[in-house]
Structure 1
């Protein structure tokens, strides 16, 4: 299809918007552009590894970039909590989810469950593409998806759960919902 640079430019043009949306659903609005820019810098450096179908590969890069960003954010939150013990850093409200019960249920899931659900439901990836993003086999991704759906279903069956969850004290460390 041409040189590595040409292939990268085509991937950038076709995949920028989906990668931007992917990041926007996972981090605060003020961090999205930086995350996406950093993900594409990594992709540029690794352009020789660019696969024929680049979107799952770019999602995987963005996922690792977000993980690095979140680790830094948590370190900053812990430092802030240590400096200002009376202050609280609250969880962000999940964008695009209006249902409090659903937001609560998704927030109760482990990050790996949330990620597999987001990749399939929001990003529209197949199980094999999800596996490529998560760095596992398709069989493992399928099992993770099945289990995550089951856990979410059980949480959604708890009618009083959001009220109980809301009574928990806020931690000093910010948590990321969906």
Structure 2
């Protein structure tokens, strides 16, 4: 094994060791505690497959890992939507009515966030659940900081509109 490959593998191992707990919490908040360990495993596998691209700076390596985790979450969400559509088609084909989710009284914050455009919801979750700065979010999403700032402000406006003046989202 070459010295370059050894150094790269060591950087990735260190980045994974230092960030695994935070990655797991990030994933738990997005896919649930039951699916989070599998999502973390998928994140680590993807990181090892892309090990040649691991940044040398530890902060950049952290954001790179969170970018991979976000892609795992997006894949998971697509799979959930496919399963949900399949379940709906099955219910319709056998004549079973879908559950009535509208029976819940009022909107809570989680429901309001889920109703946001996924790109806006990701920024809100990253700031308020994960404690990332807008600059860090821009790095792990691979977007200009101005785009992340505008998404954050747009998401806050939409949430304030949905939730009314009862919830103060501005930090």
TM-score by length of 2: 0.79
For residues 4 and 90 of structure 1, the distance between their equivalents in structure 2, rounded to whole angstroms, comes to: 52
Q: 1:59 aligns with which of 38, 54, 66?
A: 66
- Going from structure 1 to structure 2, the CA distance change for 1:87 and 1:19 (only over 3 Å counts) comes to farther
**1:138 partnered with 2:142:** no
User: Following TM superposition, by how much is the alpha carbon of 1:48 offset from its aligned partner in structure 2, in angstroms?
Assistant: 2.0
Q: Which runs of 5+ in 1 are unaligned?
A: 92-98, 160-178
Q: Is the 8 A contact 2:107 2:163 kept in 1?
A: no
Q: In structure 1, what is the equivalent of residue 116 of structure 2?
A: 109
Trace 1:40-59 onto structure 2 (pairs within 5 A).
40-51=44-55, 52=57, 53=59, 54-59=61-66
User: Following TM superposition, by how much is the alpha carbon of 1:107 offset from its aligned partner in structure 2, in angstroms?
Assistant: 3.0
User: Following TM superposition, by how much is the alpha carbon of 1:118 offset from its aligned partner in structure 2, in angstroms?
Assistant: 0.8
Q: CA RMSD in A?
A: 2.3
For residues 122 and 135 of structure 2, the distance between their equivalents in structure 1, rounded to whole angstroms, comes to: 14
Query: Which of the pair has more CA radius of gyration?
Result: 2
Q: Is the 8 A contact 2:134 2:148 kept in 1?
A: yes
- Going from structure 1 to structure 2, the CA distance change for 1:122 and 1:3 (only over 3 Å counts) comes to same
For residues 120 and 64 of structure 2, the distance between their equivalents in structure 1, rounded to whole angstroms, comes to: 20
Q: Which runs of 5+ in 2 are unaligned?
A: 167-171
- Going from structure 1 to structure 2, the CA distance change for 1:28 and 1:154 (only over 3 Å counts) comes to same
TM-score by length of 1: 0.76
- Going from structure 1 to structure 2, the CA distance change for 1:112 and 1:83 (only over 3 Å counts) comes to same
**1:23 partnered with 2:27:** yes
